[in-house]
Chain A
Amino acid sequence: GAVVSQHPSWVICKSGTSVKIECRSLDFQATTMFWYRQFPKQSLMLMATSNEGSKATYEQGVEKDKFLINHASLTLSTLTVTSAHPEDSSFYICSAVTGTAIRYYGYTFGSGTRLTVV
């Protein structure tokens, strides 16, 4: 099957600092990766779509300067939350897909990163 590894699984940071979250596809090359955010008791909200080697496409209302996404290789995408504030505390989830794998594995998700900003 397809496996996506996401790190760290949880992080606590001080207000004003930056945090980087990594998302790796372990056994397949992910042409596209997605980043979601989920607040307690709510559904997943898509933040951005990133394709390897190109700029990410952000959903409406998501600040691109605050949530920096880098997809430098076919197996790694990173999300950096810059100058984090308590309202950025949330569960961040990545997803990876490759065009043909969808037929067999659907979309593969990481295990999520719980970010707490204090």
Chain B
Amino acid sequence: DAKTTQPNSMESNEEEPVHLPCNHSTISGTDYIHWYRQLPSQGPEYVIHGLTSNVNNRMASLAIAEDRKSSTLILHRATLRDAAVYYCILRLSNFGNEKLTFGTGTRLTIIP
């Protein structure tokens, strides 16, 4: 499985944008980039995913580098409720039932 590399931790001020980076230099052409986040004492929550083009949804935006070797999850205006561990995961396809393998993720702290 292609691996991802994320910073262990990041801090951001409340109400400011947050850019969470993820490196995946060994990504294959069919790997989708998934982002999940886990709030304290909760199961993970799907955030966003994409293949090549940038993606937007109600929670966040995903910016994917042209060579696809890195991506950035963008929270446009951080709130205290965005404090969580964010996981960047590669998945082989957009269908099927393959397992998700979690790395160590980035622990995001929001400063009031």
Contact = CB atoms under 8 A, between A and B. Distances in A.
B33 to A, nearest CB: 11
A93 interface: yes
Interface in B82-98: 87, 91, 94-97
A93 B99 CA distance: 14
Contacts, number: 65
Given A44-B102, A95-B100, A109 B95 contact: no
A49 B49 contact: no
Interface stretch (A12-20, A79-87, A97-105): A97-105
18 contacts: A6-B43, A44-B38, A44-B102, A45-B102, A49-B99, A94-B43, A95-B44, A95-B100, A98-B97, A99-B96, A100-B95, A106-B36, A106-B46, A107-B36, A107-B44, A109-B43, A112-B43, A114-B41
A108 interface: yes
B94 A102 contact: yes
A6 B42 CA distance: 11
Contact of A103 (B38, B94, B100, B104): B94
A43 B36 CA distance: 12
The 3 A-B pairs with the shortest beta carbon distances in the complex, nearest first, are: A106-B46, A109-B43, A32-B97
B103 interface: yes
Contacts of A93: 43-44
